Structure 1
Amino acid sequence: MNTPARPRVKRVLLKLSGEAFQPRNGGQGIDPDVLASLAAQLQELRDRGAEIAIVVGGGNIFRGLKGVDSGVDRTAGDHMGMLATVINSLALQAALEKRDIPTRTMTAISMPAVAEPFIRRRAMRHLEKGRVVIFGAGTGNPYFTTDSAAALRATEIRADLLMKGTKVDGIYDKDPMENSDAVRYESVTYDEALKKQLRVMDAAAFSLCMDNEIPIVVFNFFKKNEMVRVFESEPVGTLVHQ
């Protein structure tokens, strides 16, 4: 099958896991150097004309399923994880504003003293005005991952592309961290991703993007300038398409 051309895009939804924020030594918390690097990359993306929305995870602080292992009720654990994503969102907002990038954090759980509530039309207006919009607290519901939140928000704001930043350079047929013979896909269809159970995103997120024809590019967030290359439609990472 011929590899499809990468889509030309303007409005993007960037999905970052909480692990992207944690110190390089593998500890918990937020690494200020990582935040500064991310803010610099986002500034370059914005300077190239991108309208940028971001969904962040909270695994560097607390993960709901980990709470279950410690005896925390799943619903309570997931709500704790949502609050962790808000901490990451506010930290990223502060890093962007240090670079004079206008930024708004919007949350799915109402906390008006901290951030704006998510209102779709308001979010789209922020993007039209050149503001970076960070979506915190996932979907606001337990049992849904931040990948599902990213797919949902990308659909709601009519994003041209969902950019999924990971620690590997695309989707593989098996875990490349554990298998030296793992093969990277240059592109896969949504159907193939679901049938092969390629777990870089959960099935609900893939299905939502498939239903709304939002392409996904999975790329190595830690590789310098990779985010900009994805925006410029260069053939990096793995494209998931219709």
Structure 2
Amino acid sequence: MPINLDQPDDILAAKYKRVMLKISGEALMGDQGFGLHPPTVQRIAKEVKAVHDMGVEICMVIGGGNIFRGLSGSAQGMERTTADYMGMLATVMNALGMQSALEGLGVFTRVISAIRMDEVAEPYIRRRAVRHLEKKRVCIFAAGTGNPYFTTDTAATLRANEMACEAILMGKNGVDGVYDKDPKEHADAVRYDTVTYDDVLAKRLKVMDASAIALARDNNLPLLVFSLDEPGGFKGILSGQGTYTRVQG
């Protein structure tokens, strides 16, 4: 059942006080197939605001695949390091778009970039970022780790550990958890309620890349995979409701 985003927050007590929300760049492009779709960005921003209004401290990492994906560029003959840096810049554009949507809803937000670009984003300084969270500002971490060959999944897991997040929430498009095989291609795909990080690696389940999974496992950081398509899904997970898969050690 969809969660009412306007339901009083004293009824829905949050399970976690500080979380990392990881979403793909593709989540922002709606049905248009490329770039940013403002109504979709606005919808996701409302989901984030609903959780923020519960008093939860929120970190975010957004991929850049709706604009440019470094690995795809590399596969087409572009030098990998250059392609990855271009992908990092795409994540900054997405972060700025989400910041604009959130601040339009009255949520104070900081875009924090692993690559210095002081005119548009703050440089990453861990203590400053923690202070922003303590002041109830949403922190959107952009430009990945600032290094090529690392995905935004790894960046999200790294920042979640540095910010002492209690869980990573991964919002998926059209999928409400982790399945033994792609449910879009296989009608008999089975969803897991819970699965271990070791099983994710051993069975090569498509959740995060192996580096991110290993980093989360080694730091006992739970991962909750849910659907971004369900209205109120983000708030529901934080309230112990909704459908999702919990990945843990």
Per the TM superposition, whether the score is higher than 0.5 is yes
**Structure 2 partner of 1:204:** 211
**Structure 2 partner of 1:171:** 178
2:36 is the alignment partner of 1:30: yes
Using structure 2 for the length normalisation, give the TM-score.
0.92
Name the CA distance, whole Å, in 1 between partners of 2:48 and 2:15: 18
Equivalent in 79, 98, 102 of residue 96 of structure 1 = 102
**Structure 2 partner of 1:149:** 155
**Structure 2 partner of 1:241:** 248
Stretches of structure 1 that go unaligned for 5 or more consecutive residues are 1-6
2:233 is the alignment partner of 1:226: yes
Moved more, 77-86 or 191-200: 191-200
The answer on whether the counterparts of 2:64 and 2:88 sit within 8 Å (CA) in structure 1 is yes
2:124 is the alignment partner of 1:118: yes
Secondary structure in 2 aligned to 1:153?
Answer: helix
The answer on whether the counterparts of 2:221 and 2:248 sit within 8 Å (CA) in structure 1 is yes
Residues 109-164 of structure 1 show CA distances to partners (whole Å, capped at 9, x for unaligned) of 01111100011111110000000000000011111110000000000000011000
Name the CA distance, whole Å, in 2 between partners of 1:24 and 1:49: 32
Amino acid across the alignment from 1:12: V
Name the CA distance, whole Å, in 2 between partners of 1:229 and 1:108: 31
Name the CA distance, whole Å, in 1 between partners of 2:148 and 2:240: 35
**Structure 2 partner of 1:3:** none
Amino acid across the alignment from 1:109: I
2:51 is the alignment partner of 1:45: yes
Name the CA distance, whole Å, in 2 between partners of 1:98 and 1:201: 31
Shift of 1:234: 2.5
Secondary structure in 2 aligned to 1:109?
Answer: coil
**Structure 2 partner of 1:78:** 84
Q: Number of paired residues?
A: 235
Name the CA distance, whole Å, in 2 between partners of 1:49 and 1:23: 28
CA RMSD, Structure 1 to Structure 2 (Å): 1.1
**Structure 2 partner of 1:129:** 135
Secondary structure in 2 aligned to 1:151?
Answer: helix
Amino acid across the alignment from 1:129: K
Shift of 1:235: 5.5
Stretches of structure 2 that go unaligned for 5 or more consecutive residues are 1-13
**Structure 2 partner of 1:87:** 93
Name the CA distance, whole Å, in 2 between partners of 1:56 and 1:84: 10
The answer on whether the counterparts of 2:49 and 2:107 sit within 8 Å (CA) in structure 1 is yes
**Structure 2 partner of 1:188:** 195
**Structure 1 partner of 2:21:** 14
Using structure 1 for the length normalisation, give the TM-score.
0.95
**Structure 2 partner of 1:60:** 66
